[in-house]
Structure 1
Amino acid sequence: MIDPLTRRRLSHRALFAAIGIVLIFIRLMPVNHTPGGLPGPDLTLALTLAWLLRRPEYVPAALVVLVFLLEDVMFWRPIGLWTLIVLGATEFLRTREQSLRDLPFALEWALVTGLLIAMVTLKRMILLMTMVEQPALGLELFQMLMTLVAYPIVVVVSRVAFGLRRAAPGEVDAFGHRM
């Protein structure tokens, strides 16, 4: 029999993967047939950052790579570039999870804003250096803004629907290690 903490961890990992696949499927659906529409938020990225800041053990690096690599392939982006940038950002947050645990939401949102700006800037610089055609800067900035607007909604939905909360200061895992 599997212990409840391991079961919860594995079920949240499976849930994260399933939500990522559903979000990719929804973005692939031909809903709007008029060309030149405005981009929506990157909900997969918002979900990844929100879950990582609350429970990093639910979003391992390998799962992040699989979900975003699948996105790169499905949306015809330069394969591995956005995945590598997202992996770097998530590992940056993962190493600072202990110090970010008691951060108020407004500062967390500001941290995510700065991280998104850095990620988009790095992506654009790499694409510029390799002379790859880039999407319009206005569209990317609008998508980043929409992702930032959607971030609090993703946090609330994750808390209400999936019970995702930050680890309490004295909470321990299945092995008795402090979280």
Structure 2
Amino acid sequence: MIDPITTQRLFHQGIYIAIAMVILFLQLMPLSPSAGHFPGPDLTLALTLAWVLRRPEYVPALSIVAIFLLQDMMFMRPPGLWTLLVLVGTEFLRARESSLRDLTFVLEWLVVAGVLCAMVLANRLVHALVMIPQPGLGTELLRMLMTLLAYPVVVAATRFGIGLKRAAIGEVDALGHRR
């Protein structure tokens, strides 16, 4: 029999993967007649960053790699580059989750903005170094801005829709392990 903590982690990991797959499905559908004029946010990235800062144990690195590698393939990006940058960014945040737990939401948002800026800059730098054609700088900056603006909405949706909140300081699970 599986213990309740493992069941809860697997359940939330399944929810995360299901939401990411629904977002991917919706991004692949031609829903808007004005597609291509105004870049939308990267909701999967916003979701991943929000979940890593709320409950990092629910979003293992393997799930992040699988989802973003699938996105790389579907959106015809260089396979693995954006996946690697997202993994590095999320692991950076995961390592600092306990210290970021005490921050206000605005400061958390600024930290996420810094990580996202570093990821976009590194992506553009690698593309320039290996001379891969890349979208215009304005388009990428606008997508980054839209993702940052969508981040509070994603956090609110996961908090009030799914009930995913930060672990309290000193909170322990059923086995006495600190979260």
TM-score range, shorter chain: over 0.9
1:6 corresponds to: 6
Matched residue of 1:41: which SS?
A: coil
Q: Which amino acid aligns with 2:17?
A: A
The alpha carbon displacement at 1:4 in A equals 2.6
Q: For 2:153, give the aligned amino acid.
A: I
Are 2:25 and 1:25 equivalent residues in the alignment? yes
Aligned equivalents of 1:38, 1:159: Cα separation in 2: 28
Is 1:162 the equivalent of 2:156?
Answer: no
**TM, length-normalised to structure 2:** 0.96
* Equivalence for 2:15: 15
Amino acid at match of 1:165: K
C-alpha spacing 1:43/1:35, structure 2 compared with 1 (3 Å)? closer
Residues 6 and 174, structure 1, Cα contact 8 Å, conserved in 2? no
Equivalent residue, structure 1, for 2:76: 76
* Runs of 5+ consecutive residues of structure 1 not aligned to the other structure: none
Letter in 1 for 2:100: L
- 2: CA distance, partners of 1:156 / 1:20: 17
Equivalent in the alignment of 1:132: 132
Can you give the 5+ residue segments of structure 2 that lack an aligned partner in the other structure? none
> Residues 48-81 of structure 1, C-alpha deviation per residue, up to 9 Å, x if partnerless?
0000000000000000000000100001011000
1:60 has 2:60 as partner? yes
2-structure distance, mates of 1:89, 1:175: 30
Q: Cα deviation per residue 1:33-61 (whole Å; 9 max; x = unaligned)?
A: 45641110000000000000000000000
Distance 1:32 1:160 in 2: 28
Q: Which residue of 2 aligns with 1:113?
A: 113
Aligned pair count reads: 179
What is the rounded CA distance, in whole Å, between the counterparts of 2:11 and 2:122 in structure 1?
A: 33
Percent identity of equivalent pairs: 60
Match of 1:86?
A: 86
Q: Alignment RMSD, CA only?
A: 1.1
Q: Give, in angstroms, the shift of residue 158 of structure 1.
A: 0.2
Q: Which moved more, 1:33-42 or 1:92-101?
A: 33-42
